[in-house]
């Protein structure tokens, strides 16, 4: 074993300065293989395809018994399993490592490669995964995935077939490529999300509505299940804007959207249709269920006044129209038109209620 690696891999968790492991440690074949893997994974922007690509390409390259990829959860900052080769994903789907927990947690926290040649002599080794899966970890290498100073995750190699400068250099290079690929897909996902979200309310926009409503309708037609649409329009909203201004009007609409969103469970989704109009799409909901949910949202909308945070207490109400496939219409255009018609009839006959077509 290379002496430079020996000096940093005794019986405890030890970090290896990445600068001490340079690419000269790799053979031409190893370097070319790493670069090819890097090209493949950094070229993939689809989050759904990235993980299978990583699993396929990295598995061919790593000389180890098994390996795992942990990613940092934004909300908790904990590490969760994203890929775990040869381990049933159901077994570890709820498993989390807090910052600093286990060797992977230490690698993430310290932002350095850590090698453990004998886990029985390592104070920070966390054996819960071994106990749950029945695996036996003898040695491991953990390398953090770093991007612009942030830790995105950790690549953990379990029972590597060798521990030397070449494997250290290979892992550092792989970690760089993985970090770039993961950040690229994250940004791509955000761009896609922003393209279909309304900036003011955070609900989906009309582009998303028409693209996905057709798909949902096709699915429901195939499954012979219902789909309902709710068209919703705020009552006398212009009066609020005239008194309090457009900025407060926008704030009130954002509060309305938040109340709508809290009542929806996927695959149901809400859409900011335009101005003070909203559409709610309810796949697999019949007329009775849709009217019930619209009535619930109607109550939530008028339950509490708006704009408290800006020194006001403004009551608001809304009018709702409901149309259902296949009872009322068979196409997206017809459903929207009929839900809009039902809502308009509410507007012209007293407002502030729910009406099915």
Please tell me whether residues 119 and 174 are part of one structural domain. yes
Q: 32 pLDDT exceeds 90?
A: no
The continuous run of DSSP H or E covering 52 comes out as helix 47-61
Average pLDDT over residues 48-69: 77
Residue the block writes with tokens 């074949």: 29
Is residue 201 in a domain?
A: no
Q: 132 pLDDT exceeds 50?
A: yes
DSSP letter, residue 92: H
Please tell me whether residues 187 and 233 are part of one structural domain. no
By C-alpha distance, which of 238, 236, 219, 237 is closest to 227?
219
Please tell me whether residues 182 and 292 are part of one structural domain. no
Please tell me whether residues 111 and 247 are part of one structural domain. no
| Torsion on CA atoms 29, 32, 36, 37, rounded to nearest 10 | 70
* pLDDT tens profile 305-339: 999 999 999 999 999 999 999 999 999 999 999 99
Alpha helix segments (H runs only) across 87-164: 89-92, 102-110, 128-133
Please tell me whether residues 211 and 288 are part of one structural domain. yes
Cross-strand pairs, 230 = 280, 322
Output the pLDDT for position 21.
59
Q: 19 pLDDT exceeds 70?
A: no
DSSP letter, residue 332: H
Average pLDDT over residues 213-218: 93
Q: Which residues of 153-182 are buried (b: 16+ CB within 10 A; e: fewer)?
A: bbbbbbbbeebbbbbbbbbbbbbbbbbbbb
Q: 13 pLDDT exceeds 60?
A: no
351 contacts: CB under 8 Å, gap ≥ 6? 235, 236, 317, 319
Chain center to CA of 160:
31
Q: Of the candidates 136, 160, 194, which is a domain's last residue?
A: 194
Q: Of the candidates 137, 166, 194, which is a domain's last residue?
A: 194
Residues 199, 207: Cα–Cα separation, whole Å: 13
Domain with residue 41: its CATH number is 3.30.450.40
Average pLDDT over residues 146-165: 89
Host domain of residue 220: 206-356
Please tell me whether residues 140 and 245 are part of one structural domain. no
Q: Of the candidates 170, 194, 218, which is a domain's last residue?
A: 194
Please tell me whether residues 139 and 285 are part of one structural domain. no
Residues 322, 312: Cα–Cα separation, whole Å: 32
| Torsion on CA atoms 118, 123, 128, 130, rounded to nearest 10 | 10
More confident call, 20 vs 243? 243
Three-class SS state of 162: coil
Confidence of residue 48 (pLDDT cuts 50, 70, 90): confident
Alpha helix segments (H runs only) across 224-317: 237-244, 246-262, 287-303
Please tell me whether residues 340 and 244 are part of one structural domain. yes
Please tell me whether residues 214 and 166 are part of one structural domain. no
Please tell me whether residues 160 and 294 are part of one structural domain. no
By C-alpha distance, which of 108, 96, 97 is closest to 146?
108
The continuous run of DSSP H or E covering 210 comes out as helix 206-223
Answer yes or no: are the C-beta atoms of 163 and 9 closer than 8 Å.
yes
Specify the number of domains making up the chain: 2
Residues 45, 89: Cα–Cα separation, whole Å: 23
Is residue 282 in a domain?
A: yes
Please tell me whether residues 102 and 223 are part of one structural domain. no
Is residue 200 in a domain?
A: no
Give the chain's mean pLDDT: 87
Please tell me whether residues 132 and 107 are part of one structural domain. yes
Of the ranges 46-60, 69-83, 124-138, 273-287, the best mean pLDDT one: 273-287
Output the pLDDT for position 235.
97
Domain with residue 339: its CATH number is 3.30.70.270
Is residue 199 in a domain?
A: no
Q: 18 pLDDT exceeds 70?
A: no
Residues 342, 346: Cα–Cα separation, whole Å: 7
């Amino acid at each position: 074993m290379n002496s430079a690696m020996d000096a940093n891999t005794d019986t405890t968790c030890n970090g290896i300065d990445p600068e001490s492991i340079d690419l000269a440690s790799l053979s031409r074949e190893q370097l070319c293989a790493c670069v090819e893997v890097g090209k493949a994974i950094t070229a993939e922007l689809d989050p759904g395809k990235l993980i299978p690509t990583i699993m396929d390409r990295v598995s061919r390259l790593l000389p180890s018994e098994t390996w795992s990829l942990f990613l940092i959860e934004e909300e908790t900052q904990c590490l969760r399993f994203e890929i775990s080769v040869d381990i049933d994903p159901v077994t570890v789907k709820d498993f989390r490592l807090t910052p600093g927990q286990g060797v992977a947690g230490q690698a993430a926290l310290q932002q350095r490669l850590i090698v453990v040649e004998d886990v029985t002599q390592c104070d920070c080794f966390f054996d819960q995964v071994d106990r749950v899966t029945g695996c036996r970890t003898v040695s491991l290498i953990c390398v953090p995935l770093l991007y612009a100073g942030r830790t995105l995750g950790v690549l953990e190699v379990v029972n590597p077939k060798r521990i030397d400068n070449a494997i250290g250099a290979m892992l550092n290079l792989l970690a760089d490529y993985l970090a770039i690929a993961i950040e690229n897909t994250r940004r791509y996902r955000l761009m896609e999300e922003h393209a279909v979200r309304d900036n003011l309310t955070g609900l989906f926009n009309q582009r998303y509505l028409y693209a996905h409503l057709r798909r949902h309708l096709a699915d429901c037609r195939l499954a012979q299940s219902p789909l309902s649409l709710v068209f919703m329009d705020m009552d006398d909203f212009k009066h609020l804007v005239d008194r309090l201004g457009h900025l407060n009007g926008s704030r009130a609409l954002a509060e309305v959207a938040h109340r709508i969103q809290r009542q929806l469970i996927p695959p149901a989704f809400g859409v900011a249709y335009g101005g003070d109009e909203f559409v709610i799409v309810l796949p697999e909901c019949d007329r009775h269920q849709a009217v019930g949910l619209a009535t619930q949202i109607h109550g939530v909308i008028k339950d509490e006044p708006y704009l408290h945070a800006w020194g006001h207490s403004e009551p608001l109400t809304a009018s709702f129209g409901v149309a259902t496939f296949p009872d009322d219409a068979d196409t997206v255009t017809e459903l929207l038109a009929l839900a809009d018609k039902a809502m308009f009839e509410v507007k012209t006959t007293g407002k502030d209620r729910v009406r099915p077509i």
